[in-house]
A and B are shown apart, each in its own frame.
Chain A
């Protein structure tokens, strides 16, 4: 079984500042990890994913995340926040052993606000 913890429900940053959204996971098998973004009244859009290989993964809109097995973390970062980054962000995990099943377990999400 897998679970995701996203500490804090709301993060506020100034435009141009570093964005750091934290995600810790629990998995009894090697994990596949994902970050999704959700804008109001819309579905979820994939930002980036980690499956195997390089532990630093780059996604869309300048976001990146680093898989740290020893810390069971997959934090999302962006060097410089833009007003358009204001949205809700979800971290999700599935087990690499699930084979044909890509069922994801999501965290509760973090709302990112960007101040002018």
Chain B
């Protein structure tokens, strides 16, 4: 178990640019989640995959956001035309199936939009 890996750890970009983040889950986990965390707040759910299928998207996930999980392995989260309000920590988590299976989180990607 090498844990959930996220890349990059930090990203600074100018408003209007596109950014892409990558998440590598724990290998045997078939569920993968993206959360967003702003300062002083708990993580907020963005989207969720089971294998390669994206099963749920939050209303927080505007049309500028897109997530993929090709082949049910790693996942990418892309933000197009970034805005200052997108500045946050983006957390990826993975889990086994089963309603009580705990989420295992990566260390996150901190995005700063200037």
Interface residues of A (CB under 8 A from B): 4, 9, 32, 34, 36, 41-46, 49, 51-52, 90, 92, 94-109
A44 to B100 Cα, complex, angstroms: 17
Residues on B with C-beta less than 8 A from A95 are: 99
B64 to chain A minimum Cβ distance, whole angstroms, is: 22
A75 to chain B minimum Cβ distance, whole angstroms, is: 17
Interface residues of B (CB under 8 A from A): 4, 6, 31, 33, 40-45, 48, 50, 55-56, 91, 93, 95, 97-108, 110
Question: Contact partner of A101 among B44, B55, B108, CB < 8 A?
Answer: B55
Residues on B with C-beta less than 8 A from A102 are: 31, 95, 98-103
**Is the CB–CB distance between A98 and B42 below 8 Å?**
no
Among residues of A, the one whose C-beta sits closest to the C-beta of B104 is A46
A-B residue pairs, 3 tightest by C-beta: A106-B42, A43-B105, A51-B100
Among residues of B, the one whose C-beta sits closest to the C-beta of A34 is B102
Among residues of B, the one whose C-beta sits closest to the C-beta of A105 is B45
Q: Given A43-B93, A49-B100, A108-B42, list of 7 further CB < 8 A pairs? A: A43-B4, A43-B105, A43-B108, A51-B100, A92-B42, A102-B99, A106-B43
**Is the CB–CB distance between A100 and B97 below 8 Å?**
yes
A108 to B44 Cα, complex, angstroms: 10
A103 to B44 Cα, complex, angstroms: 10
A28 to chain B minimum Cβ distance, whole angstroms, is: 15
A41 to chain B minimum Cβ distance, whole angstroms, is: 7
Among residues of A, the one whose C-beta sits closest to the C-beta of B43 is A106
**Is the CB–CB distance between B102 and A49 below 8 Å?**
yes
A42 to B104 Cα, complex, angstroms: 12
A66 to B104 Cα, complex, angstroms: 22
Question: Can you list 26 A-B pairs, Cβ within 8 angstroms, ordered by A?
Answer: A9-B40, A32-B100, A34-B102, A36-B105, A41-B107, A43-B4, A43-B106, A43-B108, A44-B103, A45-B105, A51-B100, A52-B100, A90-B42, A94-B99, A96-B100, A97-B99, A101-B48, A102-B31, A102-B95, A103-B33, A103-B48, A105-B45, A106-B42, A106-B44, A107-B42, A109-B41
A49 to B103 Cα, complex, angstroms: 11
